[in-house]
Amino acid sequence: MDQIREHALRLVSQDRPGKYDVAGSAEDKHVSSQGSQKISVNIRVPDDVISDGHRANKSVANLCPLIPPNLVGYIPVKTDVTSLDAVESEFPDVQAGGHFQPEECTSRHRVAILVPYRNRAAHLPVFLYNLHRLLSRQQIDYGVFVIEQGDKLGFNRAKLLNVGFVESTALYDFQCFVFHDVDLVPVDDRNVYTCPEQPRHMSVTRNDTSMVFYPLFFGGVSAVSKEHMLRVNGYSNAYWGWGAEDDDFAYRLNKARLKIQRRAGDIARYFALGHAKSKPSEKRMQLLNRWSARAKKDGLNSLKYRRLDLVFRKLYTWILVDLTEQK
C-alpha cells in the first residue's frame, strides 16, 4: 500500500465476486414552524449515515450532528439548466473549485466527488446544479472534480477515476471518494454522501428501475474510502471503451475482503439524463477474465498521464488530461 501511495504522489509532483448488504434505516424527527403551528416530520435515513458519522474524530470541536437537520427526502430534478453562468449565483456558499463546507459546524466527512467526463456538455450544467443543491443540505465537506479526457483515444472511465483520486488527494485531505457518472442525478437527500466503512454502491435505483443487475455491480455511482482505494491499487488502467471496468474493480474489492453494501432503493435513487448508448469494447471480457493476474501491477502504481490543465471554476475543479501512455 505504501508503494501505491508513493507512486501516486510522484505522479502529481512531476506535473506540479461476493455478496452485498442493504442498509437498514433510522428515523429522525425534525420540527418545522409554519406560522405559530409546529409540525413534526419524520425523516427516515439509512442506519449507515449514523454509523459512518460515529467514526469521525470526536476531539474535533463543534462536530455536525449525526443526522443532518435539513433533509427533506425527495427533491425533483431541475432539467432546464442550460448554462452554469446563470445558476452560479444560487450557490454563494460554494467556494472556488466546487468546494463546500458547512458554516454552522465541522463536517464529519471529507468527500471528493470524481466525475469522469468527455463530450457531455449538455449534461454537465444539469448535473452540477442538482448535485450542489442536494449535497449542500447534507453537512459534508465536499469537492467536485470533473476529470476530462483530452486525447483522441477511446474513453477510459477507470483511468480517469485513478487520475481524479491522485489529483484530488494532492489538493485536499479527502477521506473518501464518490465515483459519479455525469448522467446520474441524485434525487433524495437522505442518500447522504458519507464516508463508508465498506464500499457502497449508491445508485441502486435509476428512474424507478433497479440498477442492481447482479450482486457485484458497482457502476453508476459508488463510494469508497481512501484506505479501500489504496488497498486494491485503484482501478485497472486497461479498459479503453465502454464496459467491465467497474466489474474489475468490484472483483478487486471482493478479493480484499471488502463487502459491497447498498441502501434501500427508495432512498438510493437517481434520475438518468438521456444519451446515446456507447459501443461496448470488444476486449472488455478478455480483460475481465484476467483481472486477477493484473491487479497488483495495473492500477495506481502503474498510472501514467499528462495533466494539460487545472482550473478552479465556481462549481467544480476542471482537470484536463492526456491519457496517452508515452514512452
Q: What is the pTM of this model?
A: 0.87
Q: How many CB atoms lie within 10 A of CB 85?
A: 9
Q: Kindly give the residue spans of alpha helices, DSSP state H, lying in 47-156.
A: 47-54, 123-135
Q: How many CB atoms lie within 10 A of CB 25?
A: 18
pLDDT in tens, the chain (327 residues): 555 555 554 554 444 433 334 445 555 544 433 333 434 446 778 888 988 888 877 777 899 999 999 999 999 999 999 899 989 999 999 999 999 999 999 999 999 999 999 989 999 999 999 999 999 999 999 999 999 999 999 999 999 999 999 999 999 999 999 999 999 999 999 999 999 999 999 999 999 888 898 899 999 999 999 999 999 999 999 999 888 899 999 999 999 999 999 999 999 999 999 866 666 666 877 888 888 788 899 999 999 999 999 999 999 999 999 999 864
- Whole-angstrom distance, CA of residue 154 vs CA of residue 236: 15
Q: How many CB atoms lie within 10 A of CB 35?
A: 5
- Whole-angstrom distance, CA of residue 108 vs CA of residue 105: 9
Domains along the chain with CATH numbers: 2-322 (3.90.550.10)
Per-residue DSSP letter, 64: P
Here the cell at position 52 is: 459512518
Counting every residue written for the chain, the total comes to 327
Determine the pLDDT at residue 259. 96
